[in-house]
Amino acid sequence: MKKQKLRSEEWFGREGKMGFIYRSWMRNQGLTDESFDGRPVIGICNTWSELTPCNAHFRELATSVKKGVLEAGGLPLEFPVTSLGETMMRPTAMLFRNLASMDTEETIRANPLDGVVLLCGCDKTTPSTVMGAASVDLPTIVVSGGPMLNGKYQGADIGSGTHVWKFSEDLRAGKMSSQEFAMAEACMSRSRGHCMTMGTASTMACMIEALGLTLPGGAAIPAVDSRRKVLAQQAGRRIVEMVHQDLIMSQVVTRESLENAIVVNAAVGGSTNLIIHLTAIAGRLNIPLELSDFDKLGSQIPLLVNLLPSGEYLMEDFYYAGGLPVVIKELGDHLHRSAITVNGKSLGENCSQAQCYNQEVIKTLDEPVQAEAGIAVLTGNLAEHGAVIKPSAATKELMVHKGKAVVFENIEDFHRRVDDPNLDIDANSIMVLKNVGPKGYPGMAEVGNMPIPKKLLEEGVQDMVRISDGRMSGTAFGTVVLHVSPESAVGGNLAMVQDGDVIELDVPARKLHLEVSEDELEQRREGIGPAEHHDARGYVKLYVDHVLQAHQGADMDFLVGQSGSYVPKDNH
């Protein structure tokens, strides 16, 4: 096979002054002459950070990738990019997803790399690095960091996030003591890795496997399992081959593989956050993907995976039951099985031998956890560009519901009044939260699953219809309508809702309707302007000026699309 010229040779293969500059400083790391002999240079894009606890083990994982790259005759070069810790960052990690994607994109393009391995785990670290890499479009393979082991509390399994929401409601309702609450805190996160429920991180890990961007079986291996290191080493080997084969990301991520990710997300009971991130990834690759595609392709798909928050088990159980390949095999013709993956084989081929070892955890199409599980997309005068709900995490009896709105103008207003004993609210009310969308919050925070008012909790109310332009954690549950677009901060009708207005939610009819006349809405519109962020500067200013709406993936308008990998100019 004729050896193709590598991109890195534009740096390391040069003669004269520029060759001297590009090689000489790299030699201070002990690189030998052979390092520059035209071998593939592989970037290991590391989202390691002690401020991102879910990714805190990534230096070790990078070592395994490096071993694989060296074994296959490549030169591994590890580099850091902005890491986003979901539980640490304020006002919300999502505000910085696009920033991290810019960092990833520009670092990859500006450097002498022929291929990249993306190390990601915590919620936003996966979409941000994939989005950035997509805009460069080199051979790319993803290695996720793996989930934590199951949490254990008083002899029972507890799951990241899901049990935090449950325990904090129990504490507020007086069903749990503060001592028990403190004990549970220490029992939940007991190994390295990301959230082990089917929250956003696990959803993202399943998404990259369904997209074909990671080696088969990669999604579910626990972070502490030695097979996670094996997978990383194999990825290191494989990325060198991918460079030789010139198998770039846009050949793997196609309309078909995006559709596969939507179907798989429904079957695993994945997070609503997938919608935002997958749409943004598709946008980077210029592949049309509409909000309605998620409903069309996913809503009829049965829920096969019995994991919290939609089911009972956790990622560790999922792995022992056979993991995602079992689900992919079971989905059969619901998927484009011929879609190519990073190992050069098709998705169908990769999973044809998968076996289920626990049918309580991974069910069959004939006997699913739930018959229809995907995300439903709602439209109506309250969400002209759409809103979403995850029926598998909602209460069946509330899927068709009419109630009077109890409106919170923003998150501060919500915190101030939600537990006020005089709040005029009952179990049939619909809670409405404004100004938590992309521009409004800003950053579209995970606050859509508003806690239920204390006085209702004490009456035994466990769920209510809640509507907002925000998101919710993938670990959360409830009858929660999210991602209302256009958001209230840009003048969507959500901004016009007032206390006492009647709202109709009809999930089977895909309807979200505010029973207020057009004339009345127009009158209310006067005097309500777009949200201003006068004090915004720096990145936040850039974000609020350019972020797109939820149904467009909340990317920034100038980041959509690709610039490729070519850099015409030298640096000296």
Residue ranges binding ligand FES (CB under 6 A): 54, 86-87, 122-123, 160, 194-195, 199, 201
Beta bridge partners of 158: 151
**Least Å from the CB of residue 142 to ligand FES:** 15
Q: How far is the CB of 256 from ligand FES (least distance, A)?
A: 28
DSSP class per residue in 516-550:
S-HHHHHHHHTT-PPP--TT--HHHHHHHHHBPPG
Sort 534 into a burial class: Cβ within 10 Å, 0-12 / 13-18 / 19+. Answer: exposed
Nearest distance in Å: CB 233, ligand FES? 23
Neighbours of 562 (CB within 10 A): 15
Report the DSSP pairing between strands 502-506 and 156-158. unpaired
Q: Which is nearer to ligand FES, 198 or 375 (CB)?
A: 198
As a whole number of angstroms, the distance between CA 565 and CA 219 comes to: 28
199 versus 323: smaller Cβ distance to ligand FES: 199
- 291-298 vs 273-284: helix crossing angle, rounded to 10: 120
d(C-alpha 242, C-alpha 162), whole Å? 39
CA–CA distance from 442 to each of 14, 94, 142, 333, 455 (Å)?
Answer: 46, 9, 29, 41, 30
Quote the CA–CA distance of 1 and 244 in Å, as a whole number. 10
Amino acid identity of residue 267, one-letter, is: A
Among residues 87 and 300, whose Cβ is nearest to ligand FES?
A: 87
> Nearer to ligand FES by C-beta: 195 or 560?
195
Residues contacting 181, CB < 8 A, separation 6+: 167, 168, 171
- The nearer residue to ligand FES, 199 or 374, going by C-beta atoms, is 199
Q: Based on CB atoms, which residue is closest to ligand FES, 208 or 544?
A: 208
Closer Cβ to ligand FES, 124 or 363, answer by number: 124
Distance CA 350, CA 346 (A): 6
CA angle 104, 563, 130 (to 5 degrees): 35
Indicate the residue among 88 and 400 with the shorter CB distance to ligand FES: 88
Shortest distance (Å) from residue 113 CB to ligand FES: 27
Q: Report residue 205: phi and psi, to 5°.
A: -65, -40
Choice between 277 and 329, CB closer to ligand FES: 277
Report the nearest approach of ligand FES to the CB of residue 493 (Å).
Answer: 33
Shortest gap between Cβ of 294 and ligand FES (angstroms)? 22
Report which of 387, 381, 401, 453 is spatially closest to residue 424, judged by C-alpha positions: 453
- What is the nearest approach in angstroms of ligand FES to the Cβ of residue 123? 5
First-last CA distance in the chain: 35
**CB 314 to ligand FES: min, Å:** 13
Is the CB of residue 122 less than 8 Å from the CB of residue 194? yes
CA angle 240, 19, 9 (to 5 degrees): 25
**Is the Cβ–Cβ distance between 499 and 405 less than 8 Å?**
yes
Cβ proximity to ligand FES: between 195 and 411 the closer is: 195
Query: Rounded CA gap, 286 and 250, in Å?
Result: 10
CB of 305 to ligand FES, least distance (A): 18
Q: Which two tokens stand for residue 285?
A: 């690759």
Other Cβ atoms within 10 Å of 262 Cβ, number: 25
- Cβ distance to ligand FES smaller for residue 199 or 492: 199
Give the angle 394-509-283 at the CA atoms, nearest 5°.
Answer: 75
Please give the Cα distance from 171 to 181 (Å, whole number): 7
Give least dist CB 209 to ligand FES, A. Answer: 16
CB of 105 to ligand FES, least distance (A): 22
